[in-house]
Structures are given as structure tokens and as C-alpha cells.
Amino acid sequence: MSGVITPASWMWAHGLARRIGTKVPPAAAHRRRKLLLIHLDGVPKALLDEAIVAGKLPFVSRLIRSGTYQLDDAFWGAPTSTPYFQAGLLYGLRNSNLPAYSWFDRELGRQVRMSTPTDAQVIDERLRSQGRESLLDGGGHGYFSLFRAGAQNALSMSTLASFKQMSRAFSYEMMGLSAGRTRGLWDFLGAFGMDTWRSAREVAHWAHALHDWRHEQSFLVSRVLLQRLGWSFAYTKALVDMVRGVPAIYLVFGNYDEVAHRRGPRSELALSELHRVDAYLEDLYAMSQSVERPYDVIILSDHGHVDSLPLEQRQGRKLESLLLEGAPGELSEDVVRGLRDGRPRQDSVASAPFEPVIVECGNFAHVYLSGAREPLEARELLARHPDVLARATRSEDIGIVALRRGHSAVAVIRGGVYGPDEVERAPLSPEFSRRAVADFLRGLPAMKTAGDLVVFGEAVRRGGTVGFAWEFGSHGGLTRTEANSLVCWPADAPVDLSGLGHCAQLHDRLAEVYVRQAPRLRWVQ
């Protein structure tokens, strides 16, 4: 560890561990190897590499350059969104049926959003009912995850839905918090007050310059409560958990992601959040090596962020207006021929009345034209909604239109129709990841919750695509930046995390070492 952890960090971690150890009891659950999984939400590997080269992440740089850790690119599958990733990471689900952060759920008959605790709880229960083992089963803790996923503690989005559950867990969540504090009360309050004042000034300046206040109140609340108070709490609790010996800890650092959405992924504010995490990583790593039974610390990201250029700003109207209003024009014969794929024309049939739902998910959107449990396929769309298809496929701001064709799926790209095995010859902008496009098409038939159409913003500049939501950094789409994730793991750990092609593979490799090797508990008579 020489040269990786500074002497000051060693002394700090050992002293804090002794102090916490006198105040909290050891965890009841045990595993042969202990795991701290740190999730850097929204950070593409290319951006991390740049920060390392620029000297903005000195601790991470020492980890890698010393040979103590290995750093690799990772592809987790598409869509490039947190719910899809966490379902694969925590539960090992390859087909989780989670198409975005928000969607129209055909089973529930309404729109759901993962920032709504009751919705997150419903989806977590749905995932849990599939009977898959979770990385957090058997006494693990999770912080800021969307899904509780069997964690012993109750600090996920899904657990916020139950006041009774949260109130019962309050004393457990507070355990060791005062012993684990790393700053004095007045020092913390002073810094917190200054951060709040600076954040309020920044929000006011941004909204005034943009002449738009939407999302700014909620963003300010996020800056104060989530990115400052929330992260400080979760970081401190992770330190306490390691002293207690909690077998698996999943810690999500969402600050960069939150800021990137509202200000852009390469904005000064977003980059400052990425750079400031380096000191926290050093503290967490120093503690992981100072406790009686050291932890394997694994750092990863779930997706990247791409610049988002709002359609509303470009055209003065929203996607709903673009797709549902105005003269539709005609579908090209090549598109019609490609969607029919040699099948006869299907006549339009009467269907139950349904008001179209368009869910803007950043730089992509789900378009629901039927409320039926089964999504519409290409011939049905040609028969019942040719006008919507024409508007979508002819718009210069829409780069990809994905839809189901029979038992498979295809993408309409610049007037051509391409299946997953034909994407390599599609006239895609270099900004798009052909691997991500093909992966999305292969998974779309099984993703019943996805829209009848899924549209992706065109790449209109390097590192930037058209966005359908009012935000300036997006993910969930199919660009190379969004699909560019990372994984960083100890060189001496008994697990190889190189060459991963899906988040479910990550689960399987971690579970083999950190879950399935746990000693079996026996009743003592």
C-alpha cells in the first residue's frame, strides 16, 4: 500500500476505526470476503481518464499507476440508464423490462418514475419476485440505490415509500453516526451554510441567463439535501459499516449525475463534483484497509453522459407536438417495404380509445399509441398510425426510430430499415455506438414496457445529441459516450472484471466470490 495511501490518511483511518469500534456492535452477518461497491453515477470512462491525466483525481491515479488496481472499459447493455443497470448489477437480470428512468407501465396502466418512492417500491417488488439472488442478501447495506434489493438497512428510493418502515429503521440507520463524524458540528454547519448560499446564487444566475426556472427549485433542493447532506450521511455510514464488518456495502455517488443533467456533463459545476469525489474515495479506501477484516473496494460507473440540446429550444415545440400535430407527409416506400418485410398489408382494425402518451426520457423518448398489454408491431403501426411514423422517420432531429417487427425489432435510420445484425452498415452518425444500437434492438421484443416507438435524438454535434426533455445532459440513449462505462478493481482480488459485456455478467462474477462463497449458518442445539 506504500505510496497509495498517505501516512496522514492511514493515521486518520486507524484512529477513526478505533473510535467507531468502541461505540458500535459488530455486524451479525459474515462472509469470507467483504465488498465495498462504489457506484459513480453517470461518469464515462473517457471523462475519468481525462481527469486522471489532468491531475484532478490524484488518489485514483495512484491506485492505477501503482498497479494496485486495474481499470477497464465496460459495456453494460442498453438502455444506458440506472434502473436497467441496477437491476442487472444487484439481481443479475439480463432482461429486466426497465426501459428508462420513467415510462408508461402497461401492467399498471399509468406512468411510473423511479424518483417516486412508491413507484420504485412497486418495481423493486416486481424484480424481487423473480427469485434471483441479490448482492445485498444476507446482511448487506445499500445507500442511494433505487432498489433495496434485500439490503438489511432501509436507505433506498424504494424504502422511502413506507413511513412505517423508515420510522422503524431510524435508530438502526443512526447507529454510529456521531462516532463516525469526520468534522466538528460547527465546522460542518459553516461549510453547509456556505454551500447552500453558493448553490442558491448559482441557481438564480443560471435561471436568469436562460429565462427559465423549470427544475431549478428541485435542483436547489437536490444540491442541498441530496448532494451535501445525503452524501455526507451515506459516506459516514459506509465508514461505520466497514468497522462493524457489514459483509457487502453498495454506495452510490450521484452528485455528478444530478449536476450533469441540469448543467451539462462537462460544465464546471459537474466536473467539480467528479473531482471532489477523489478525497472521499481515498478516505473510504484507507478505512477499508484499516479494519480488522479488510474490504475489496470496487469502483464502477453505470453509463456516461452526453450533451443534450433540447428540442424545445431548437424548434420552439415539444416532441408531442412534433409527432402528433401538423401535416404528416408520407412514409417512404423503402421504409414501408422494410417494415412489412415481405408480409402482406394489414388492414386497420378498431381499437379501444387511448390518448397517446409520450414519455421524454432525456435524449430518447418512449411513444405509446395503444394502452394494450402487448406493444404494437410494425404492420399495426403502418395500418393505424402511419402519420406518426412519417413524422418520426422524416424529422431531422430524430436520428433513430426503433420498433418491433414480428418477433424481432428494427431501427429506421435515415430512410433505411435495419435489424440488429444489419446495424454495421446503417448510415449512423459516428457519435452512436453500433454495439449499443444492436443490443437495444435485440432486447426490445422482450421489453414490453417500452413504447410502441422508441425515438432517439439525432447527433447534431460532437458529443451532443438532440434531447426531448428539458435538460442539458442526458443518458439512456445509444451514443458511444453513454455506453462508455468503467470498472476498477483490486489486482489481487479473486475476481476478474475485464471484458464485461452486460451488467448481469458483472453480477454473476461478483456473486460467485462475495455471495455464494459465504459460509452456511448452522443452528446450534
- Asked whether 83 and 149 are in contact (CB, 8 A), the reply is no
pLDDT bracket for residue 29 (50, 70, 90) = confident
Residues sharing a CB contact under 8 Å with residue 127, sequence separation 6 or more, in sequence order: 87, 91, 93, 96, 147, 149
First to last CA, the chain: 44
Query: Which of 423, 414, 409 lies closest to 377, judged by CA?
Result: 409
- DSSP-derived letter for residue 488 is E
Query: Which of 453, 465, 402 lies closest to 429, judged by CA?
Result: 465
In this prediction, residues 234-247 reach a mean pLDDT of: 96
Q: Is the pLDDT of residue 479 over 80?
A: yes
**pLDDT score at 347:** 74
In this prediction, residues 218-233 reach a mean pLDDT of: 82
Q: What is the pLDDT of residues 411-468, one digit of tens each?
A: 999 999 999 999 999 999 999 999 999 999 999 999 999 999 999 999 999 989 999 9
**pLDDT score at 345:** 87
Q: Is the pLDDT of residue 333 over 60?
A: yes
Q: Is the pLDDT of residue 291 over 80?
A: yes
- Asked whether 17 and 290 are in contact (CB, 8 A), the reply is yes
Q: What is the pLDDT of residues 308-317, one digit of tens each?
A: 999 999 999 9
State phi, psi for 373 to the nearest 5 degrees. -65, -35
In this prediction, residues 217-241 reach a mean pLDDT of: 87
Q: What residue spans of 291-332 are helical by DSSP H?
A: 311-315, 319-324
Taking CA atoms, 434 is separated from 77, 102, 290, 438, in Å, by 12, 24, 44, 6
Top pLDDT among 360 and 201 is at 360
State phi, psi for 71 to the nearest 5 degrees. -125, 130
pLDDT bracket for residue 524 (50, 70, 90) = very low
For the chain, domains (ranges, CATH) are: 7-305+482-514 (3.40.720.10), 309-474 (no CATH)
328: left (phi over 0), alpha (psi -120 to 50) or beta: alpha
**Is this prediction's pTM over 0.85?**
yes
Q: What is the pLDDT of residues 242-258, one digit of tens each?
A: 999 999 999 999 999 99
Q: Is the pLDDT of residue 520 over 50?
A: no
How far is it, in rounded angstroms, from Cα 68 to Cα 62? 8
Amino acid at 412: V
- Asked whether 138 and 247 are in contact (CB, 8 A), the reply is yes
How far is it, in rounded angstroms, from Cα 167 to Cα 502? 37
